[in-house]
Structure 1
């Protein structure tokens, strides 16, 4: 009988200990997560562009796929922001050229700009290219428009 009473008395203490351990672990994860988020540049994944590609001059090649679009602050580039395009195409040959125009428009200041880009299937799956730009602070709209028939990609992010 004494043994049963000791076990029952220890039950609430164990439950409190477990609850305290869970609370301390959760608080530690929250603090660790905040530190990590602040240490890495904040990136924004925008809507992908869907398009067809083409072969090089004199070759016949057709491919189809998407361009993933990501915008993030530049740590060491010539401009404060970077747009990265990453290719995800399939086709009948390894040659898949895709090119187009990247445009941005700061919805708060009216500033805008554009730049041409190109990607090659010779670089393999998930080949990427970057373009640096300075939209100034505010809400910025980005559009990725391939030169071939496409559904444009892009979206909006807030520049600091």
Structure 2
């Protein structure tokens, strides 16, 4: 095998090994958060796959009431160009009947810094749910979670 091919093969194996070990066993949870079950998921390409963690918590900074969502996508093969997991998050206020949905492309967490292209320590989205009991579903995860916003 030519030297350049051996170098390429060794580099590819090293990157795959780093990708397989990337990410902590579980990301730090925010106080008062309710987590979805962790899922293994494939994104928009065959090399874009890994583990998705998601949690919802009241957005304490909104006096009208709202929910903040955090996502951590730990890709098994890091640095795949344009790797995203398309997701839709649906919410319903069980007390007022209000509802909505947000479509979002979740990008992988950098295995070295713990950040994403969209922010530090995972991705966050905000939902203007109002106060009350809030039910949330994600197109990527089974089941639903409920939280109370006071």
**Structure 1: gaps of 5 or more residues:** 1-40
Deviation (angstroms), 1:158: 0.3
1:112 to 89, 99, 105: 99
Equivalent pairs counted in the alignment come to 110
Is 1:81 the counterpart of 2:71? The answer is no
Q: Deviations over 1:15-39 (max 9, x none)?
A: xxxxxxxxxxxxxxxxxxxxxxxxx
Separation in 2, partners of 1:46, 1:70:
6
RMSD: 2.9
TM-score normalised to structure 1 length? 0.56
Distance 1:153 1:49, change over 3 A: farther
Structure showing greater radius of gyration is 1
Distance 1:74 1:89, change over 3 A: farther
**Structure 2: gaps of 5 or more residues:** 1-29, 117-121
1:6-155 correspondence to structure 2 within 5 Å: 43-50=32-39, 51-55=41-45, 60-75=46-61, 80-91=66-77, 94-95=79-80, 96-121=83-108, 123-125=109-111, 127=116, 128-146=122-140, 151-152=141-142, 154-155=144-145
Distance 1:133 1:142, change over 3 A: same
Higher helix share: 1
TM-score normalised to structure 2 length? 0.59
Higher strand share: 1
Equivalent residue for 2:149?
A: 159
CA contact (8 A) 1:71 1:82 kept: yes
Separation in 1, partners of 2:139, 2:73:
14
